[in-house]
C-alpha cells in the first residue's frame, strides 16, 4: 500500500499555482510499486475529471523533412546526408487532409523541419485551402518563425501551434541546439500565445546531461506557460546524430513525467506519443493513456515518403495505412474501457466561450499584441 505521504505530495502539486521543486523531484524519484500505482491512479483521475475518457485523434501530415538546424538528438538534422529529403506539394497535402477528414478526424497537424525555403505565403495558401474546403482545426508545427509569419498563418485559419522546448534548462538547451537560442524559443512561444493560438510545448525525457532537477524544471515551465497541449516523449537515439551511442530515455521516467504533467496542467491535451509506441519495439501507448494522456496522433503522411520523416528509428505504425492505424487505436481504446473521441478537441479553456471562439481571434497589430490576449505567463 502507498504511504499517505505520496498522496499528500500529489495533492499539494495539483493544488499549487507553481509546484514546489522539492515535491516534484520527490515524485520523480519514486520507485516503489505501490507509490507508482498511486501516482498513475491520481493522474488518471485528474485526466478523467478534466478532459474526460475520450481519446482525441489528431491526423498528422509530415509535409517536409528539410531542416536547417543541427539538433544533436534528431535524425532530420541537416548534417544527416544519408537521408533523402522531400517536401510534399500543396495538392499532396490537401489530398492527405481529405483522408484525415474522411476518417472522421477533425484536427490536422502540419509538421515539418525548420526549412529556410518554406515560404510563408505558400503555407498561408495551404492553410487557407484547408479552411476553404474542410471543417478541421489546423495545428502547425514548423518551428521558429517571425511574429509576422505566425500572424499571417493565424489569419489564414491556423488554430494551434506546437513548439516543443525539449528542455527548459537553458544550459542544456544550448548544448543540444547548436546555433539556436533558448531566448528565441520562448519568444516564439510568447508570440504564439499572444496571437491567440492554442499553444503547445513539451520535452524529451532521457537526454544526455538531463537531471531529475531539470525535469522538475520542465514541469514548472509547463505550468508557467499555461500550455493548451503538452507532449512528453522519450529520447530515442538515431544513428546519424552525435548522440547515436547514448541510451534511450527510460520508459518509467517518461510515464512519471506524463503523470506529473497531467497533475500540474490538468486541462492540457497530452499525447501518448508515437515515440512511446516505438521505444523498445513495443507499443506502450496504453500505459501513457493510463498515466494521464488523452491524445493519439495517427500518421497520414503519404507513402513512400513517410519513412523519410526519420526523427528517430523504429517509428511505430510506419507501414500501416492510416485507416488501419485508426482501427488499431479504436481497439486500444476499447480494451482500456475508453473510446475514441472524434471531436475537434480544442483547448479546454475555450469551452463555453459563448458566441465567439477565441481560437479564431488574432491580434492584427503590434498595438493589439501589446494589449495582449495572452494566456501565457511569458508575457508577464
Ligand atoms: S528537432 Fe526539429 S529543428 Fe531540430 S533538427 Fe530536428 S526537425 Fe530540425
CA 144 from centre of chain: 15
- The rounded distance, in Å, linking the Cα atoms of 136 and 10 is 37
pLDDT band at residue 280, thresholds of 50, 70 and 90? confident
With a cut of 60, say whether residue 299 has pLDDT above it. yes
With a cut of 90, say whether residue 353 has pLDDT above it. no
With a cut of 50, say whether residue 374 has pLDDT above it. no
In this structure, the residue with its CA closest to atom 5 of ligand 1 is 77
Phi, psi of 323 (to 5 degrees): -60, -35
Q: Are 277 and 284 in contact (CB under 8 A)?
A: yes
Chain mean pLDDT for the chain: 91
Q: What is the pLDDT of residue 364?
A: 46
Q: What is the pLDDT of residue 317?
A: 75
With a cut of 60, say whether residue 2 has pLDDT above it. yes
Q: Is the preceding omega at residue 228 within 30 degrees of 0, hence cis?
A: no
- What's the 342 CA to ligand 1 centre distance in angstroms? 30
Q: Which grid cell sits at 107?
A: 484536427
- What's the 36 CA to ligand 1 centre distance in angstroms? 33
Domain boundaries, the chain: 18-344
Q: What is the pLDDT of residue 3?
A: 65
Q: What is the pLDDT of residue 4?
A: 64
Percent of the chain at pLDDT exceeding 70: 91
> Which is higher by pLDDT, 363 or 184?
184
Q: What is the pLDDT of residue 13?
A: 98
Q: What is the pLDDT of residue 360?
A: 40
pLDDT in tens, 308-318: 999 998 887 77
Q: What is the pLDDT of residue 352?
A: 58
User: Residue 296 belongs to what H/E stretch?
Assistant: strand 295-296
pLDDT in tens, 69-127: 999 999 999 999 999 999 999 999 999 999 999 999 999 999 999 998 899 999 999 99
With a cut of 70, say whether residue 356 has pLDDT above it. no
Tell me which of 60, 68, 71 to substitute to probe ligand 1's pocket, judged by most ligand atoms within 8 Å of the beta carbon. Answer: 71
Q: What is the DSSP letter of 126?
A: H
In this structure, the residue with its CA closest to atom 2 of ligand 1 is 113
In this structure, the residue with its CA closest to atom 7 of ligand 1 is 113
Tell me which of 67, 86, 182, 242 to substitute to probe ligand 1's pocket, judged by most ligand atoms within 8 Å of the beta carbon. Answer: 67
pLDDT in tens, 187-200: 999 999 999 999 99
25's CB contacts (< 8 A; 6+ apart) are 212, 213, 216
Angle at 155 between CA 101 and CA 62, to 5 degrees: 45
- What's the 20 CA to ligand 1 centre distance in angstroms? 32
For residue 20, list its beta bridge partners.
none
Which CATH code for domain 18-344? 3.20.20.70
Cα-trace Rg, the chain: 20
- The rounded distance, in Å, linking the Cα atoms of 286 and 272 is 8
Lowest mean pLDDT among 215-224, 324-333, 366-375: 366-375
The residue with cell 531539470 is: 214
Q: What is the DSSP letter of 182?
A: H
Q: What is the pLDDT of residue 42?
A: 98
- What's the 238 CA to ligand 1 centre distance in angstroms? 13
Q: What dihedral angle (degrees, nearest 10) is formed by the CA atoms of 287, 288, 292, 296?
A: -130
What is the atom index within ligand 1 of the atom nearest the CA of 67? Answer: 8
- What's the 78 CA to ligand 1 centre distance in angstroms? 9
- The rounded distance, in Å, linking the Cα atoms of 341 and 269 is 13
With a cut of 50, say whether residue 367 has pLDDT above it. no
pLDDT in tens, 22-37: 999 999 999 999 999 9
Q: What is the mean pLDDT of residues 275-297?
A: 93
- What's the 179 CA to ligand 1 centre distance in angstroms? 12
Q: What is the mean pLDDT of residues 157-172?
A: 97
pLDDT band at residue 7, thresholds of 50, 70 and 90? very high
With a cut of 70, say whether residue 377 has pLDDT above it. no
Q: Are 54 and 294 in contact (CB under 8 A)?
A: yes
What is the atom index within ligand 1 of the atom nearest the CA of 74? Answer: 6
- What's the 71 CA to ligand 1 centre distance in angstroms? 6
User: pTM of the full predicted structure?
Assistant: 0.93
Task: Calculate the alpha carbon distances from 107 to 101, 170, 259 in Å.
Answer: 8, 32, 24
For ligand 1, which residues put their CB under 6 angstroms from it?
67, 69, 71, 74, 76-77, 113-114, 143
Tell me which of 69, 181, 240 to substitute to probe ligand 1's pocket, judged by most ligand atoms within 8 Å of the beta carbon. Answer: 69
Lowest mean pLDDT among 137-141, 211-215, 280-284, 285-289: 280-284
Amino acid at each position: 500500500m502507498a504511504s499517505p505521504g505520496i498522496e499528500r505530495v500529489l495533492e499539494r502539486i495539483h493544488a499549487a499555482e507553481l509546484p514546489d521543486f522539492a515535491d516534484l523531484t520527490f515524485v520523480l524519484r519514486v520507485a516503489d510499486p505501490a507509490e507508482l500505482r498511486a501516482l498513475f491512479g491520481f493522474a488518471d483521475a485528474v485526466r478523467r475529471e478534466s478532459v474526460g475518457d475520450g481519446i482525441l485523434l489528431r491526423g498528422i501530415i509530415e509535409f517536409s523533412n528539410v531542416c536547417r538546424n543541427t539538433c544533436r538528438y534528431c535524425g532530420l538534422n541537416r548534417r544527416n546526408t544519408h537521408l533523402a529529403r522531400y517536401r510534399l506539394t500543396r495538392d499532396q497535402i490537401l489530398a492527405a487532409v481529405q483522408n484525415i477528414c474522411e476518417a472522421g478526424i477533425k484536427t490536422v497537424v502540419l509538421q515539418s523541419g525548420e526549412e529556410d525555403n518554406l515560404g510563408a505565403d505558400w503555407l498561408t495558401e495551404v492553410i487557407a485551402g484547408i479552411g476553404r474546403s474542410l471543417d478541421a482545426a489546423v495545428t502547425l508545427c514548423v518551428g521558429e518563425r517571425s511574429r509576422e509569419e505566425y500572424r499571417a498563418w493565424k489569419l489564414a485559419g491556423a488554430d494551434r501551434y506546437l513548439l516543443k522546448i525539449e528542455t527548459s534548462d537553458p544550459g542544456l538547451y544550448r548544448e543540444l541546439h547548436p546555433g539556436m537560442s533558448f531566448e528565441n524559443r520562448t519568444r516564439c512561444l510568447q508570440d504564439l500565445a499572444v496571437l491567440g493560438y492554442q499553444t503547445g510545448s513539451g520535452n524529451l525525457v532521457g537526454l544526455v546531461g538531463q537531471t531529475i532537477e531539470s525535469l522538475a524544471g520542465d514541469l514548472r515551465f509547463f505550468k508557467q506557460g499555461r500550455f493548451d497541449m503538452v507532449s512528453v516523449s522519450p529520447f530515442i537515439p538515431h544513428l546519424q546524430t552525435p548522440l547515436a551511442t547514448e541510451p534511450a530515455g527510460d520508459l518509467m521516467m517518461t510515464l512519471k513525467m506524463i503523470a506529473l504533467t497531467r497533475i500540474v496542467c490538468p486541462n492540457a491535451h497530452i499525447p501518448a506519443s508515437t515515440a512511446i509506441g516505438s521505444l523498445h519495439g513495443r507499443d506502450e501507448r496504453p500505459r501513457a493513456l493510463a498515466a494521464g494522456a488523452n491524445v493519439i496522433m495517427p500518421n497520414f503522411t503519404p507513402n513512400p515518403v513517410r519513412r523519410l520523416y526519420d526523427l528517430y528509428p523504429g517509428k511505430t505504425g510506419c507501414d500501416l495505412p492510416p485507416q488501419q492505424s485508426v482501427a488499431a487505436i479504436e481497439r486500444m481504446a476499447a480494451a482500456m474501457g475508453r473510446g475514441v473521441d472524434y471531436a475537434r478537441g480544442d483547448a479546454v479553456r475555450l469551452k463555453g466561450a459563448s458566441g465567439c471562439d477565441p481560437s479564431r481571434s488574432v491580434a492584427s497589430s503590434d498595438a493589439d499584441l501589446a494589449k495582449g490576449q495572452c494566456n501565457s505567463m511569458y508575457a508577464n
